[in-house]
């Protein structure tokens, strides 16, 4: 076997250990109330998230929304600070570069696991009952993983999105969008979305 194959095998074994350890510790539960203007979480949804746990990705809804398994339930997660072109909103047609953003999210989350980080000032759930989170996927060279929200912005699959209040990584995400625009990446390319 070559070095690359051995590295891949070692990484998969390491991820397996992390996953088995993470799945053995239950979520903590604590009563919280939803911030004004937000809905209460679905009855089966967790009220606290352990940011160190890796969760199974059940499916990708579109470029900025996924479904993860948590405590035996499927929970829809909306990525904080990112807005990608629409592909599944029944009120809107598929938007330019929406398919590409969804496809890229599918590739990224194809690793099967993600780690979530909430941001208290943003609230836990949005008005549609989706968990709001920064989402990381395993990445060998970075211990905490790849921050997907920022990556999709930096590669031009979506843009920085501030819903109401500033959020933890807002400055980084805005800088990532600025760089993607300047370098004409993804949806910012001259020929990406012909008029």
List the catalytic residue out of 38, 55, 115, 130.
130
List the catalytic residue out of 38, 53, 55, 78.
78
Give CA–CA dist 178/79, Å, rounded.
Answer: 19
Q: Give DSSP secondary structure letters for 130-193.
A: PEEEEEEEEETTEEEEEEHHHHHHHTTSSEE---SS--TTHHHHHHHHHHHHHTT-GGGSTTTS
Q: Which of 68, 187, 53 has the alpha carbon at shortest distance from 132?
A: 68
Give CA–CA dist 84/8, Å, rounded.
Answer: 31
Active site residue 86: yes
Give CA–CA dist 79/180, Å, rounded.
Answer: 19
List the catalytic residue out of 53, 55, 86, 160.
86
Active site residue 115: no
117 sits in which H/E element: strand 113-117
Which residues fall within 8 angstroms of residue 43, CB to CB, at 6 or more apart?
none
Active site residue 100: no
Q: Which of 96, 5, 111, 7 has the alpha carbon at shortest distance from 60?
A: 111
Q: Which of 46, 66, 64 has the alpha carbon at shortest distance from 56?
A: 66
DSSP-derived letter for residue 125 is B
Active site residues: 78, 86, 130
């Amino acid at each position: 076997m070559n070095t690359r194959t051995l590295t891949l095998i070692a990484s998969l074994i390491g991820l397996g250990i992390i996953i088995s350890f993470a799945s053995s510790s239950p979520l903590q539960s604590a009563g919280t109330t939803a911030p004004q203007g937000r809905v209460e979480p679905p009855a089966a949804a967790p009220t606290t998230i352990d940011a160190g746990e890796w969760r199974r990705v059940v499916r990708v809804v579109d470029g900025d929304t996924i479904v993860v398994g948590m405590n035996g339930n499927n929970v829809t997660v909306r990525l904080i600070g990112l807005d990608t072109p629409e592909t599944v909103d029944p009120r809107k047609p598929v938007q330019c570069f929406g398919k590409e953003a969804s496809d890229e999210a599918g590739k990224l989350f194809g690793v099967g696991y993600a780690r979530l980080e909430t941001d208290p000032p943003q609230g836990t759930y949005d008005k549609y009952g989706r968990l709001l989170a920064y989402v990381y996927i395993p990445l060998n060279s970075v211990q905490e993983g790849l921050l997907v929200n920022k990556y999709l912005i930096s590669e031009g699959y979506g843009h920085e999105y501030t819903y109401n209040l500033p959020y933890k990584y807002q400055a980084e995400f805005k800088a990532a969008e600025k760089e993607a625009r300047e370098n004409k990446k993804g949806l910012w390319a001259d020929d990406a979305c012909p008029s």
